[in-house]
């Protein structure tokens, strides 16, 4: 029978945050078991931006060479008038450190980053089709119970189970209501060669119609072999809170006809007949991430609006601080280490949540 001293740390969820947690905890010397509810590992969505702090973390994990095969670097987003494509000026990035040269971002396809992180975890340490139903706190260890009535023991559980986090609800004692932003996001990816003639020389770019609070963003992916687009359109009625929704490609084309003609044409040239579609939500920030041997990470702890582009960045940075707090602690000290982790991260992510809402409010006002 396993003793608390020999039990692994359990990570529930194998998205970008959960995989990052597994990587950092393994590097800190912990046995880790990761449980993912999906039957196979895959990441939905399009391009994401990674800032200097996060990129340096990936290089510190020895992933720099592989990462650089997929990432493209830029220091501004080229602004365009949404109705005619005329230049409107650059949207620049403030430096996130004391070094003024840290005013850049990398773009990478979410799936490429996910695959890169997953490759760092031995396959036998990631169990698929394991949907967490509840967690039982036994004091000196936890028991994770799954939808198939199986269970596993762990010295601690990290809830990296996303916007519908079961672990968050258990820690909080209630389910938090989602807050609708008023925006719907439509995303797709297609080869650069299909749309090169429609794009400005400088990427990423954003067509903006300020009076109607609409935006169409295009970013390079795969070192420029592909592009990803994100159309952000106001929709009064909220849809389901899910990353897995879709819309017919041609229906999105119709929604974009008030833009510069290049915009709907980019979508029309997709080979796929559907685009990703989802309503944009966040939740009120919380200060209680941890209860004894359970804690939260990534979207489970701090779902942001996308206006600051910080979701993946902060999930990876959560994972680093988590491992720093747990490194070298005895099993009996794990609860205190998890409290230290949340005490360090809550102020940071609460401020980013505030900034994301403030930028979003500015966008909605035009």
Cβ contacts of residue 179 below 8 Å, gap of 6+?
281, 282, 283, 284
Residue 98: which pLDDT band, with cuts at 50, 70 and 90? Answer: confident
Is the per-residue pLDDT at 366 higher than 60? no
pLDDT of 195: 98
Is the per-residue pLDDT at 29 higher than 90? yes
* Cut 0.95: pTM above it: no
pLDDT of 360: 76
What is the C-alpha to C-alpha distance for residues 75 and 105, in angstroms, rounded to an integer?
6
Which DSSP state fits 6? G
Is the per-residue pLDDT at 126 higher than 90? yes
pLDDT of 361: 72
Residue 165: which pLDDT band, with cuts at 50, 70 and 90? Answer: very high
Tell me the β-bridge partners of 190: 227
Could you tell me which of 170, 165, 131, 173 has the C-alpha nearest to residue 302? 165
pLDDT of 213: 78
What is the C-alpha to C-alpha distance for residues 215 and 250, in angstroms, rounded to an integer?
18
Tell me the β-bridge partners of 10: 33, 157
What is the C-alpha to C-alpha distance for residues 334 and 240, in angstroms, rounded to an integer?
37
pLDDT of 308: 85
pLDDT of 210: 82
pLDDT of 222: 86
Over residues 126-144, the mean pLDDT reads: 97
Could you tell me which of 173, 252, 174 has the C-alpha nearest to residue 214? 252
Long-range Cβ contacts of 32-35 (<8 Å, 24+ apart): 32/8, 32/121, 32/125, 33/8, 33/9, 33/125, 33/127, 33/152, 33/154, 34/10, 34/121, 34/125, 34/126, 34/127, 35/10, 35/11, 35/127, 35/130, 35/132, 35/144, 35/146, 35/152
Over residues 103-125, the mean pLDDT reads: 95
pLDDT of 1: 47
Residue 320: which pLDDT band, with cuts at 50, 70 and 90? Answer: very high
Is the per-residue pLDDT at 140 higher than 60? yes
What is the C-alpha to C-alpha distance for residues 22 and 36, in angstroms, rounded to an integer?
12
Mean pLDDT is lowest, of 16-20, 44-48, 124-128, 204-208, for 44-48
Which tokens sit at 315? 């999930």
pLDDT tens for 210-242 read 877 799 999 999 888 999 999 999 988 877 676
What is the C-alpha to C-alpha distance for residues 8 and 220, in angstroms, rounded to an integer?
39
What is the C-alpha to C-alpha distance for residues 335 and 142, in angstroms, rounded to an integer?
12
CB 298 within 8 A of CB 304: no
More confident site: 45 or 216 = 216
pLDDT of 97: 84
Over residues 280-297, the mean pLDDT reads: 95
Which tokens sit at 324? 């720093």
CA 351 from centre of chain: 17
Tell me the β-bridge partners of 295: 158
pLDDT tens for 270-279 read 999 999 998 9
* Average model confidence (pLDDT) across the chain: 93
What SS3 state is found at 247? strand
């Amino acid at each position: 029978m396993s003793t608390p001293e020999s039990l692994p740390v359990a990570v529930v969820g194998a998205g970008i945050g959960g995989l990052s947690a597994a990587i950092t905890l393994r590097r800190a010397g912990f046995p880790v078991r990761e449980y993912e509810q999906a039957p196979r590992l895959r990441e939905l969505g399009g391009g994401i931006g990674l800032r200097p702090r996060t990129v340096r973390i990936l290089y510190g994990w020895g992933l720099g060479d592989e990462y650089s095969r997929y990432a493209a670097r830029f220091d501004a987003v080229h602004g365009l008038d949404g109705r005619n494509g005329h230049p409107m000026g650059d949207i620049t990035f403030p430096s996130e450190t004391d070094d003024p040269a840290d005013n850049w971002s990398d773009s990478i396809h979410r799936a490429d980053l996910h695959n890169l992180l997953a490759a760092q975890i031995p396959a036998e340490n990631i169990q698929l089709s394991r949907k967490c139903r509840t967690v039982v706190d036994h004091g000196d260890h936890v028991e994770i119970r799954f939808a198939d009535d199986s269970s596993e023991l762990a010295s601690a559980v990290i809830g990296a189970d996303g916007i519908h986090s079961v672990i968050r609800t258990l820690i909080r004692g209630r389910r938090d209501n989602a807050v609708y932003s008023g925006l719907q996001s439509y995303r797709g990816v297609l080869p650069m060669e299909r749309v090169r003639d429609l794009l400005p020389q400088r990427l990423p770019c954003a067509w903006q119609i300020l009076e109607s609070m609409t935006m169409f963003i295009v970013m390079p992916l795969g070192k420029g072999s592909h592009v990803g687009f994100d159309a952000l359109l106001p929709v009064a009625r909220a849809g389901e809170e899910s990353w897995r929704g879709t819309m017919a490609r041609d229906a999105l084309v119709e929604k974009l006809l008030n833009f510069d003609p290049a915009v709907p044409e980019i979508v029309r040239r997709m080979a796929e007949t559907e685009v990703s579609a989802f309503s944009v939500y966040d939740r009120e920030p919380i200060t209680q991430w941890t209860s004894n041997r359970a804690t939260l990470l990534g979207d489970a702890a701090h779902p942001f609006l996308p206006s600051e582009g910080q979701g993946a960045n902060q999930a990876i940075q959560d994972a680093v601080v988590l491992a720093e707090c747990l490194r070298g602690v005895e099993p009996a000290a794990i609860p205190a280490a998890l409290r230290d982790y949340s005490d360090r991260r809550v102020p940071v992510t609460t401020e980013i949540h505030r900034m994301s809402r403030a930028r979003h409010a500015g966008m909605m006002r035009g």
